[in-house]
Structure 1
Amino acid sequence: MAVATKERPAHMRQIKMDFWDGMEHTFMMSSISAKVRTAIWDAVAEYIQEQLLLRKGVQIPSVGSFDVVPTCIQAGDEVVIVQRPVFRLARNLVVVHNLRDNKDYLPGHKELEPLKYARVAKAASVSRRKVENCIQGTMSLLSHCLGKGENVALVLRDVGVLLIEGTRVQMKFYLSFLERMSGKENFEKATFKVPQLLDMVVSPVVPLASLTFSGRLIIFPE
């Protein structure tokens, strides 16, 4: 976990939070190193990516739900279908912190497949229990930061960034991932016709703190 500011962007310098030291046990993270924590979350991101590319959703306890919504867009004489990823934050976080739940529609309110902890554990070369503790511990700490009035971001490698500032929840995706979802040509045609689609895009090289009004952000899982 790191603090990023506009003056000290995350990719240039990271500052460890003072309250982290000695609190690993409180958040079930005492036996999980920063390297292992990153490996676990990278494996989670890889699983999310695989599911969405297969047009399947996934539900991650204490995090939220990802799914895909096909969206038809008229581009000239043809109809372009964009596979739009959507995210809904875990209800407990929304309620506890009085967050503005996003209104993304999960088609048919269908039941989504839960995260396969065993797959993530194998990819990260750790035990299933360690994966469960890492995810729960990270989200508990993230919730703790929200309770202190901090802005937070959860980075999912090659997928995008979950950003919570004040009561506003945003899930932004990397352009390369969105192009893989819909096809580069289709996505370009769609954004030319509906520029608002670019609102869900974030650059992997932009300082994350610059996405906030305050210029201050705590970044997970670093």
Structure 2
Amino acid sequence: MNKYLLLNPLEPEKLSTLKELRTIEICQVWFSVSMYIRRQLLQKKVVDIGVGTFAVVPASAIVGEDKVLPVERPVFELCRPLKKFYKLKCAKTKIPDKTLSAPLDFQEIAADIHFRWEIVEQCVHETLLFFAGALLDNKEVEFFFQGIGILAVRRKMVRMTFFADCLLELDATGNMQTALLEDSKMRRIVAFPGKSKFARISQEGVITLPRFALEIPDEDPALSISLKPRRELAPWGGGARRVSVLDPVFLAQKRVSMSKQMEKKGMQDNSKQAGQGR
């Protein structure tokens, strides 16, 4: 945890892997991370991502004439040291102390996208470092977890909201749909980008992760400023050689598959030529 408690502004050399990766590759990594977290939550497992913990906890909703419905809902609990160090405020969500949490399984996450697991681990770590740097600089942030929800930071207030389909899928009681329709408090946990008062951004804009973009108020989203660290140019003016992101075993299997396809195509072409020569 201490690695995300920054005393000084983040140094560019700390983000060496992000410099080498394209934005689409960074988003691929975090898409796989998000899908991994959702799979674990479906199994009622608790996942520690380094700056906080995802879990599914029992809750209750008030519907009709004070009728109480039990539900199961996902929560995100920011790490206490991070919350205290950056003086952040969070909604009260409590994961039972006796609950065992597990860190991200980078090998499983990497396997889903055929990336080297070392690249995935470093990409996640450096993205979280960038997030910590934004907290240090008092920036407003929206961290998107595809298929799960949005972790937003506004003026030292941290709030995690979840997409409706995620809430419905993770609830094993079958009561979530009714709860979202009839309990106004439950509706507050649903992610509606740009729709709620909390979603308003400052004049300086909001940093969106994992795209590493700065969205400016009243500007065309297509004109957002890229914040992704850039790699240095080589002395001769060309771009520095990019790091290999794909798993070498996957590459070898792909080469074998392509070789077999070309061999099969060659045999088919030779057969056609032999037939035409008769």
Smaller-chain TM-score bracket: 0.7 to 0.9
Q: Secondary structure at the match of 1:149?
A: coil
Work out whether 1:52 is the aligned partner of 2:35: no
CA distance in 2, matches of 1:210, 1:92: 24
CA distance in 2, matches of 1:209, 1:47: 30
Aligned to 1:84: 73
1:220 paired residue among 188, 194, 209: 209
Structure 1 unaligned blocks of 5 or more: 1-19
Q: Is the 8 A contact 2:71 2:173 kept in 1?
A: no
CA distance in 2, matches of 1:64, 1:97: 14
Decide which structure has the larger Cα Rg and report it.
2
CA distance in 2, matches of 1:79, 1:92: 35
CA distance in 2, matches of 1:192, 1:70: 18
Instruction: Report the residue type matching 2:14 in the other structure.
Output: T
Residue-by-residue CA offset, 1:164-213 (whole Å, 9 max, x unaligned): 11210100001111111226962122234422011111136x47997035
Structure 2 unaligned blocks of 5 or more: 1-9, 212-278
CA distance in 2, matches of 1:192, 1:121: 38
The TM-score with structure 1 as length reference comes to: 0.78
Aligned to 1:64: 52
More strand per residue: 1
Aligned to 1:120: 109
CA distance in 2, matches of 1:74, 1:153: 30
CA distance in 1, matches of 2:149, 2:198: 15
CA distance in 1, matches of 2:144, 2:98: 26
Residue-by-residue CA offset, 1:47-93 (whole Å, 9 max, x unaligned): 111111222211112x3101111224465698633111111123443
CA distance in 2, matches of 1:171, 1:198: 13
**Count of matched residue pairs:** 199
Q: CA deviation at 1:214?
A: 2.2
Aligned to 2:14: 26
Identity of aligned residues (%): 26
Q: 1:196/1:73 Cα in 2 relative to 1: closer, same or farther (>3 Å)?
A: closer
Aligned to 2:233: none
Aligned to 1:187: 176
Q: What value does the CA root-mean-square deviation take over the aligned residues?
A: 2.8
> Looking at both structures, which has the greater relative contact order when contacts are Cα pairs under 8 Å and sequence separation is at least 6?
1
CA distance in 2, matches of 1:112, 1:53: 14
